[in-house]
Amino acid sequence: MVLSLPVSVLLFLLLGAVAGVLAGLLGVGGGLVLVAALAWLLPLMGIPQEAAMHAALASSLASIVLTAAASARAHHRRGSVMWPTVAWMVPGLLLGGWLGSGLAVRMDDGVLRYLVAGYCLVAAAQMLLGRRRATGADASPPPRGVGMSLAGSGIGALSAVIGIGGGSMTVPLLVALGSAPVRAVGTSSACGVAIGLASALGYAMHAPDGALPAHAIGYVYLPAAAGVAAASVFAAPLGTRLAHHLSGETLKRVFAGFLLLVGASLLLGA
């Protein structure tokens, strides 16, 4: 069964709304849930099974650019984006995103699926079991320095392979360095814009000729990327409002439960 284009677009818009809320709430750009959902849906839309995971990753990252930008804008209005930290991380994020996408294009579909699922489970455990430093986080200065640039390169590379905006790495890192969870989420959203740009461009340019049958640039499936981005931009501010009304510990529990569900769905799909 192959879904019609109108039905496909409707599903992409629905996914975009969910991704937008998650972007504002958790700082992840909805990337993980998008990858899992698209890996299931794209073969129903004529995408070859062997290219479905690559297309899911690429399309998720392309949509994250606008999703993360909308989330970052909403967080900036509430003063929860640490721009000095963003400035230090962006060079590494751009380099890592480009290199990571080039590596992912050369990986088998099944390998990528297990990598994403395993990452979800490890990140969930870290969020549930890790302890936040007992510091005055709300008053602590934004993390800066070359170390943040180096961390950005690693986060960018792994995010490109996993198909996310990096929030599940950036948020725990910033929290561990003493930042308040809501400021970590806002800063992570801004960083996700750089990751999405570099990674999506990499998937578009590193892909073999004719990687997808139609409506695509490289591995970026344009109907999915556009539909998800269009809906997520309007939904992200809702997630941001929720984030500012939940405690840091509640955010961590929501984040961990979300990662466990996505990891399990990918393993079942494999």
pLDDT in tens, 157-205: 999 999 888 887 898 899 889 888 889 988 998 999 999 999 999 999 9
How far apart, in whole angstroms, are the C-alpha atoms of residue 253 and residue 251? 6
Please count the other Cβ atoms lying within 10 Å of the Cβ belonging to residue 184: 28
Predicted local distance difference test score (pLDDT) of residue 234: 81
156: enclosing H helix or E strand: helix 146-162
User: What pLDDT is attached to residue 33?
Assistant: 76
In the predicted model, residues of the chain with pLDDT beneath 70 are 1-2, 23-24, 26-30, 127, 130-139, 236, 240, 243-244, 246-249, 251-252, 269-270
**Spatial separation of the C-alpha atoms in residues 270 and 120, rounded to whole Å:** 15
Q: What is the pLDDT of residue 134?
A: 45
> How do residues 65-92 score in pLDDT, each as one tens digit?
888 888 888 889 889 899 999 999 999 9
Closest to 188 (Cα-Cα) out of 239, 129, 124: 239
Tell me what pLDDT residue 126 has: 73
Structure tokens at 27: 């700082």
Query: Do residues 258 and 29 lie in contact, with contact meaning Cβ atoms separated by under 8 Å?
Result: no
